[in-house]
Structure 1
Amino acid sequence: MPVDFALGLPARGVSSLAVTDLGFSAFAERNQPRYTRYASARLSRDADVQVAVHLTFGLAGGNWSWLLSQPVLAATVWAELRHQVEVRLAKGAAPDNDAAALYEVLPRAKADSVLLCHRLHFDVDSAAELMGVEPPAVEASLRAVKRTPPPLAERKDS
């Protein structure tokens, strides 16, 4: 079977084009700008952003039928995007310093909620939909972060 050289995924022939390809196209068209905004907020270089988003959609498109069987498709693809960003960072990509500080002190899901809602100005419903979670999960993350004390080095003595 031919392999797509860039992604290492099986190449799909014309005969495999089906209704699911239309579903993937709609998913990609809706989410590509939002995924790019997220990746841009975490990575300093546009080239790293493009690689992370491209690989995410390449893997999603190559596994679309399987993704459709997952309990929450958006959550699975979101996890892949986060993974691709983290792979870029592990390979030496320059992080956005503000975002890096956020991810150093918070669990990933909470950091994602803060980044999407406070830095990228998504409303709670849009952030939840993008991450594949329910809005109360995003709201709970944002409330928990507000209650989190600043790191010891930042605290003022009384």
Structure 2
Amino acid sequence: MPMTSRPDVPLGSTPLPRDVRAAPARVAADLGFSAFAERNQSRYGHYVTARLSADRRVLTVVPATLAHARRHWDWLLSRPSPAADVWEELRYQVRRQSEQAPTRDARVAALYYRLPETSADSVLLCCRLGLAIREAAELMGLERPAVEAGLRVARRVLPPVHVGRRCS
């Protein structure tokens, strides 16, 4: 069967509609957010569970945080550290819920009462939840030295029982 010839269409003579041109970028952003959420959702959940009482409201914190991140994903991608901004939203959601669902562990409450938030988060993630310093830094959107400094502050301020055996 002979090939039929098609008329040549000069490049650029018929621009694609805007929504068609934007589709690959939208798909890439959606995939990026999905990967981000998949990687962090369970770790966020462990953090929230450690911070708040075993209350039904705990179940709303991670979904609310990820919904906020999804709505603002394009803007977050333009920021220096999307992970840091999402972590800050997670902290905000935890603070909101902690007004109604206090921390179930007095030692965790003491961390946040006596330490700067980043130091307390570093102790909770590394010493209580067992994350490596590198993994905690990536989760919080920080550089590794910031987490190490947070742990050093905790060691100076708190007795070893509050910091935990893993971080002594």
TM-score when scaled to structure 1? 0.80
Amino acid across the alignment from 2:104: D
Partner of 1:11: none
Separation in structure 2 between the aligned mates of residue 99 and residue 148 of structure 1, nearest angstrom: 14
Q: Secondary structure at the match of 2:62?
A: helix
Amino acid across the alignment from 2:51: R
Q: Residue 55 of structure 2 contacts residue 101 of structure 2 at CA under 8 Å; is this kept in 1?
A: no
Amino acid across the alignment from 1:86: R
Bigger Rg, which one: 2
Separation in structure 2 between the aligned mates of residue 117 and residue 36 of structure 1, nearest angstrom: 15
Q: How many residues align?
A: 135
Separation in structure 2 between the aligned mates of residue 22 and residue 122 of structure 1, nearest angstrom: 25
Q: 5 Å matches for 1:57-76?
A: 57-76=66-85
Q: Percent identity?
A: 53
Q: CA deviation at 1:146?
A: 1.0
2:121 to 112, 116, 135: 112
Cα distance per residue 1:12-62 (max 9 Å; x no partner): xxx795220111000000000000000000011252222110100000001
Amino acid across the alignment from 1:130: L
TM-score when scaled to structure 2? 0.76
Q: CA deviation at 1:140?
A: 1.0
Structure 2 unmatched ranges of 5 or more = 1-22, 160-168
Structure 1 unmatched ranges of 5 or more = 1-14, 151-158
Q: Residue 75 of structure 1 contacts residue 133 of structure 1 at CA under 8 Å; is this kept in 2?
A: yes
Amino acid across the alignment from 2:125: L
4+ residue segments displaced more than 4 Å: none
